[in-house]
Amino acid sequence: MRTQVAIIGAGPSGLLLGQLLHKAGIAAIVLERQTGDYVLTRIRAGILEQVCIDLMDEAGVGTRMHKEGLVHGGFDMLFKGERHRIDMNKLTGGKNVMVYGQTELTKDLMDARAAAGLTTVYEAANVQVHDFDSKNPRVTYEKDGKTHEIQCDFIAGCDGFHGVCRASAPRSAIREYEKVDPFGWLGLLSDTPPVHEELIYANSSRGFALCSMRSETRSRYYLQVPLTDKVEEWSDEAFWQELRLRLDPEAREQLVTGPSIEKSIAPLRSFVTEPLRFGRMFLAGDAGHIVPPTGAKGLNLAATDVKYLFNGLVEYYQDKSEAGIDRYSELALKRIWRAERFSWWFTSLMHRFPNEGEIAQKFQEAELDYLIHSEAGSRSIAENYVGLPLDFGH
């Protein structure tokens, strides 16, 4: 087989890149080691920045998102038993975010790809990338007991943290930065109305909590838990009881509980790979970076990676210029590090850290008090949360 771009990974970043390339008349084949159904079972983020919303529209797949997504102009920060609203819309000159589950976004992209008759190979086993340091890269994979080869101009590594693309980069040419937090998030999904019309980020003496949602009838809640905890040890009843203890009296009163649809514990880490380009192979999304979920940046960073890479590929094919692909890593990393910093800072501000003692809680509460009473402090949170402009600092 021959194509222009071989995309490894059929998550949001791979599918979004594939759809944008299709719209621009650039051929791409997507390979995914899992089934399509498995990809849709991954419970992930649900907050979209305007950049991500605009990209979905550019890709021609934004109709259902605009119909079903929930536009949020702010969120609450809870500390010392009281909630304070960050008015993002007012503080950023009219910007908002949208609540729309990653599963739904992925489904929209899958449906569009299938409707256009574009090639996606699911259950592609033993995917390997070859000769990406030459002008003739190749990808091999196994399917139905046979080995297949794709010849291409470029390889887009959208295959996640454990994917083959970053693992195939020469160790001498790659640098990895990592910080692992000493706790995880226990998440519960339930078909219950959200406790509040916007998100609540809670700093409590018992640990962090987040009240989020996927729709007006489906809620997503998180609790900070030790990394040693096992999800099986947490009954639904125990989860709801602990969540109540971390909320303010009003939210406690309004909380509607119910059986969980899904429960899981996710570790928190900050991780960045430098560079994001190796010859004619590019890393995008979780293949190149991981952020703690506190700042809702993971999916949005993946989308902006895709935007920079797509622009570079269009410039290559339409203008016969390599300037865009040459700048891809630099542009993406500048934005990635800013989002990593915000996610690290927000995580540090809202969580209880073992062995830091009660004084750390007092420091956090003092900083939170400053931030919500300072317009400059509140604006800094709002600007970072809604997402810095694509050309910020360029």
- Residues forming the active site: 72, 201, 293, 297, 385
What is the Cα–Cα distance from 90 to 72, expressed in whole angstroms?
Answer: 12
29 in Cβ contact with 119 (< 8 Å)? yes
What pLDDT, on the 0 to 100 scale, is given for residue 46? 85
What pLDDT, on the 0 to 100 scale, is given for residue 378? 98
212 in Cβ contact with 220 (< 8 Å)? yes
SS3 for the chain is CECCEEEECCCHHHHHHHHHHHHCCCCEEEECCCCHHHHHHCCCCCEECHHHHHHHHHCCCCHHHHHHCEEECEEEEEECCEEEEEEHHHHCCCCCEEECCHHHHHHHHHHHHHHCCCCEECCCEEEEEECCCCCCCEEEEEECCEEEEEECCEEEECCCCCCHHHHHCCHHHCEEEEEEEEEEEEEEEECCCCCCCCCEEEECCCCCEEEEECCCCCEEEEEEEECCCCHHHCCHHHHHHHHHHHCCHHHHHHCCCCCEEEEEEEEEEEEEEECCEECCEEECHHHCEECCHHHCCHHHHHHHHHHHHHHHHHHHHHHCCCHHHHHHHHHHHHHHHHHHHHHHHHHHHHCCCCCCHHHHHHHHHHHHHHHHHCHHHHHHHHHHHHCCCCCCCC
Structure tokens at 344: 């690290």
What pLDDT, on the 0 to 100 scale, is given for residue 38? 85
Considering the domain boundaries, does residue 209 fall inside one?
no
- Give the domain range for residue 71: 5-177+268-386
Could you tell me the sign of the dihedral formed by the alpha carbons of 100, 17, 342, 379, in that order? negative
Residues in the chain: 394
Tell me: cis bond preceding 275? Omega within 30 of 0 counts: yes
Considering the domain boundaries, does residue 125 fall inside one?
yes
What pLDDT, on the 0 to 100 scale, is given for residue 43? 63
What's the alpha-carbon Rg for the chain, to the nearest Å?
A: 21
- CATH number of the domain that residue 308 is part of: 3.50.50.60
Considering the domain boundaries, does residue 207 fall inside one?
no
Considering the domain boundaries, does residue 335 fall inside one?
yes
The predicted-structure confidence for 249-291, as pLDDT tens digits, reads as follows 999 999 999 999 999 999 999 999 999 999 999 999 999 999 9
What pLDDT, on the 0 to 100 scale, is given for residue 251? 97
Structure tokens at 55: 């990209």
Considering the domain boundaries, does residue 237 fall inside one?
no
Domain count, the chain: 1
Residue 220 φ then ψ, to 5°: -130, 120
What is the Cα–Cα distance from 289 to 272, expressed in whole angstroms?
Answer: 4
The predicted-structure confidence for 89-119, as pLDDT tens digits, reads as follows 999 999 999 999 889 999 999 999 999 999 9
Nearest to 316 by CA among 267, 355, 282, 354: 282
Considering the domain boundaries, does residue 140 fall inside one?
yes
Query: What is the pLDDT tens value at each position of the chain, 394 positions in all?
Result: 999 999 999 999 999 999 999 999 999 999 999 998 888 887 667 899 999 999 999 999 999 999 999 999 999 999 999 999 999 999 999 999 999 988 999 999 999 999 999 999 999 999 999 999 999 999 999 999 999 999 999 999 999 999 999 999 999 999 999 999 999 999 999 999 999 999 999 999 999 999 999 999 999 999 999 999 999 999 999 999 999 999 999 999 999 999 999 999 999 999 999 999 999 999 999 999 999 999 899 999 999 999 999 999 999 999 999 999 999 999 999 999 999 999 999 999 999 998 898 999 999 999 999 999 999 999 999 999 999 888 776 6
What pLDDT, on the 0 to 100 scale, is given for residue 390? 81
Considering the domain boundaries, does residue 204 fall inside one?
no
Considering the domain boundaries, does residue 11 fall inside one?
yes
Residue tagged 């992930």 (tokens): 44
> Cβ-count burial of 225 within 10 angstroms (0-12 exposed, 13-18 middle, 19+ buried)?
buried
Q: How far is CA 386 from the centre of its chain?
A: 14
